[in-house]
Amino acid sequence: MLRRREMVRYWLLGEEDIRRINARRKEHNRLGFAIQLCVLRYPGWPLRPDDMPPANLLKFVAEQLGADATEIGEYAARDETRREHLQVLCKEYRFGQYGPAHSPLLRKYLETEALSTDSAFTLIESAMEWLRQRGVILPALGTLESVVRSVRSKVERDVYWRLFSGLEESHKTELNKLLEWGPLRGSVLGWLRRVPRSCSASGILDLMQRLNWVRGSGVPRELTAGIATNRIDQLAARGGRHSVAHFRRFPPEKRYAILAAFLLYVAEELTDRSMDFHRRLIGRMFREAEKKQWTGFVQQGLQVNQKLHNYSRLTAVITQAHKEGCSLESAIEKEFAWDALEMDGQEAGRLARPLDGSTLQSFRTQFPQFRQYTPKFLETFQFEAIPAQKPLLKALDALRQMNREERTVVPSDAPRSFVKRNWAPFVFVDSGIDRCYYELCVLSELSLGLKSGDIWVQGSRRYRKFDSYLIESSVWAQRKEKLLGTIRTISGLRNVSQ
């Protein structure tokens, strides 16, 4: 059943429609004529003898005409009137039957649509909409299925050939290696499919090892230019499930096309997963520090509570002595032994935490874990950012240079403006810049930037530049008029409601 918006789009009657409908003499003929007009517009074929229109259509049209919906029964009883009205509608509105002249135009349109989707259902819906827009009465569903089937086969062959023809012999040689014995058990293809799921430093190193192999194949990203992402994803999905034996039986153009699409998809997936793992490790560092701090509070809770009780007793004694004008020393000696009081104060000092205490204090113990992968991580991935994050990008460059030169001291001119207030006491020390906290601060800010979208990664899909999600200007110009037409239709709905 159509929603209200679609009902307005297809079944809202204009002034010219009302004029032609009112030319019918009787109410049931006016209602039947309007119903016939609406069903020709959507779904696109006329009512057959003894067919009753959908209840929502009947109600919607009757409301517009101010007619009694029950009158449709009398109209349906006379097939001759229905056929006469169909002829009039086809003449006045120029509805035509689907024929040989429409087939090549429809195929050409569907070939363009099929570049973005392989769904037969979606393509059939697109074909129906294309025919409706041109006032063509829809043919039998079997006819459309046949057209879509042949279009899908042709487009699939075309996509295979476009990808195949864009590959050089060196690329094909590298793609053949996917079907050879891999670093571990099985083929290289199987090795690439087994993406590590363990979120750890070794897991990130494993991901980058696979990514560097994929990049080393040299398959250019430009290979997919002009082919919709959905189509490439569909080919990549095939590469993820076909066995090596299947690939060896495929024709060369099909085999290389699927393998190339698979590699390009895997490169993005490995990049995204590496970023995910890095963000999770940073988050784990913060959670573990908070947990450690809270565990310490819980374990020392009994001792801290005892000290608070002693402090409460001491303040009560001092206050009472002050009120009575007695000697404070004598009053305290009656309640506490001086040796015990001194030991109690020393223990309280040991239990106390700095007033500006932070969970960042324990981060130094986590640094070796990050050093296992961060040098290679920074070399493998290139980051871009909004202008406000440029200091952080320069800090990443500084760390790369330090790693290459195997330097442990952070240069005094290293970027500092990205360091937030809570990090500053740990990063900036008397001796200069603390390397451990400086690098951890950079990695933490990088994680936050990836999450917010202020920083993006070259070769990523989930962590790409925000503008890439927007419609291109040329495409928007083409869609603008269609969108404005929809807005006008919605405005028409409001007028009907009023």
- Exposed, middle or buried: residue 308 (CB in 10 Å: 0-12, 13-18, 19+)? exposed
- DSSP SS3 for 51: coil
> Using an 8 Å Cβ cutoff, are 30 and 65 in contact?
yes
Task: Look at residue 463 and tell me whether its pLDDT is greater than 60.
Answer: yes
Which of 381, 387, 366 minimizes the C-alpha distance to 444?
366
Task: State residue 356's pLDDT score.
Answer: 55
Query: Which single residue is written with the structure tokens 């919906």?
Result: 69
Please tell me whether residues 176 and 275 are part of one structural domain.
yes
Please tell me whether residues 252 and 189 are part of one structural domain.
yes
| In 55-172, beta strands by DSSP E | 96-97, 136-137
Residue 493's pLDDT band, with cuts at 50, 70 and 90, is: very low
Pairing mode, strands 383-385 and 455-457: antiparallel
Residue 396 lies in a domain: yes
> Using an 8 Å Cβ cutoff, are 40 and 46 in contact?
yes
Please tell me whether residues 277 and 179 are part of one structural domain.
yes
Averaged pLDDT score across all residues of the chain: 87
Q: What is the DSSP string of 11-25?
A: H---HHHHHHHHTSS
Task: Look at residue 165 and tell me whether its pLDDT is greater than 70.
Answer: yes
Query: If you average pLDDT over residues 128-156, what whole number do you get?
Result: 93
For the chain, the C-alpha Rg in angstroms (whole number) is 37
Residue 291 lies in a domain: no
pLDDT in tens, 173-213: 999 999 987 666 788 999 999 888 889 999 999 999 999 99
- DSSP SS3 for 232: helix
> Using an 8 Å Cβ cutoff, are 370 and 443 in contact?
yes
Task: State residue 491's pLDDT score.
Answer: 56
Which of 214, 217, 352, 189 minimizes the C-alpha distance to 271?
214
pLDDT in tens, 331-364: 877 787 888 777 887 777 776 665 455 678 889 9
More confident residue, 456 or 480: 456
Q: What span, in angstroms and rounded, lies between the C-alpha atoms of 42 and 9?
A: 10
Q: What span, in angstroms and rounded, lies between the C-alpha atoms of 401 and 178?
A: 34
Task: State residue 494's pLDDT score.
Answer: 46
Number of CB atoms found within 10 A of residue 325's CB? 6
Please tell me whether residues 90 and 107 are part of one structural domain.
no
Residue 489 lies in a domain: yes
Residue 25 lies in a domain: yes
Residue 498's pLDDT band, with cuts at 50, 70 and 90, is: very low
- Exposed, middle or buried: residue 260 (CB in 10 Å: 0-12, 13-18, 19+)? buried
Please tell me whether residues 342 and 311 are part of one structural domain.
yes
Rounded percentage of the chain residues whose pLDDT exceeds 70: 91
Locate 465 and state its tokens. Answer: 């530049």
Residue 394 lies in a domain: yes
Q: Helices in 300-389 by DSSP H: which ranges?
A: 301-324, 328-335, 338-351, 367-371, 374-380
CB pairs under 8 A, 24+ apart, for 210-217? Answer: 210/266, 210/270, 211/267, 211/270, 211/271, 211/274, 211/380, 212/380, 213/188, 214/263, 214/266, 214/267, 214/270, 215/267, 216/174, 217/171, 217/174, 217/175, 217/177, 217/263
pLDDT in tens, 4-13: 888 888 888 9
429 DSSP assignment: E
Residue 497's pLDDT band, with cuts at 50, 70 and 90, is: very low
Task: State residue 452's pLDDT score.
Answer: 93
Residue 289 lies in a domain: no
Query: If you average pLDDT over residues 123-148, what whole number do you get?
Result: 93
> Using an 8 Å Cβ cutoff, are 299 and 292 in contact?
no
Among 94, 129, 155, the domain-final residue is 94
> Using an 8 Å Cβ cutoff, are 32 and 77 in contact?
no
| Euclidean distance between the first and the last CA atom of the chain, given in angstroms as a whole number | 24
Please tell me whether residues 277 and 186 are part of one structural domain.
yes
Query: If you average pLDDT over residues 143-172, what whole number do you get?
Result: 93
Give strand pairing partners of 383: 457
> Using an 8 Å Cβ cutoff, are 31 and 62 in contact?
yes
Task: State residue 349's pLDDT score.
Answer: 73
Q: Would the pTM count as exceeding 0.75?
A: no
181 DSSP assignment: B
Query: If you average pLDDT over residues 34-45, what whole number do you get?
Result: 90
Please tell me whether residues 176 and 270 are part of one structural domain.
yes
Residue 288 lies in a domain: no
Among 283, 307, 335, the domain-final residue is 283
Using CA atoms, how far residue 41 sits from 53, 217, 288, 380, 486, in Å, is: 13, 53, 63, 56, 16
Please tell me whether residues 271 and 334 are part of one structural domain.
no
Among 165, 200, 215, the domain-final residue is 165
Residue 486's pLDDT band, with cuts at 50, 70 and 90, is: low
pLDDT in tens, 383-410: 999 999 999 999 999 999 999 999 999 9
Please tell me whether residues 429 and 480 are part of one structural domain.
no
Query: Which single residue is written with the structure tokens 């060896």?
Result: 248
User: What is the total count of domains within the chain?
Assistant: 6
> Using an 8 Å Cβ cutoff, are 111 and 71 in contact?
no
More confident residue, 293 or 291: 291
Pairing mode, strands 432-433 and 428-429: antiparallel
Please tell me whether residues 254 and 191 are part of one structural domain.
yes
Please tell me whether residues 189 and 153 are part of one structural domain.
no
Which of 278, 298, 272 minimizes the C-alpha distance to 199?
278
Q: What is the b/e burial string over 331-349, where b = at least 16 CB atoms within 10 angstroms of the residue's CB? A: bbeeebeeeeeeebeeebe
Please tell me whether residues 158 and 186 are part of one structural domain.
no
Locate 6 and state its tokens. Answer: 């679609």
Residue 228's pLDDT band, with cuts at 50, 70 and 90, is: confident
> Using an 8 Å Cβ cutoff, are 215 and 192 in contact?
no
pLDDT in tens, 245-287: 999 999 999 999 999 999 999 999 999 999 999 999 999 998 8
Q: What span, in angstroms and rounded, lies between the C-alpha atoms of 169 and 397?
A: 36
Task: State residue 360's pLDDT score.
Answer: 85
Using CA atoms, how far residue 118 sits from 43, 115, 139, 254, in Å, is: 23, 8, 22, 16
Residue 290 lies in a domain: no
What range does the domain containing 494 cover?
470-498
Helix (H) or strand (E) holding 425: helix 424-427
Using CA atoms, how far residue 484 sits from 11, 183, 231, 492, in Å, is: 18, 57, 29, 12
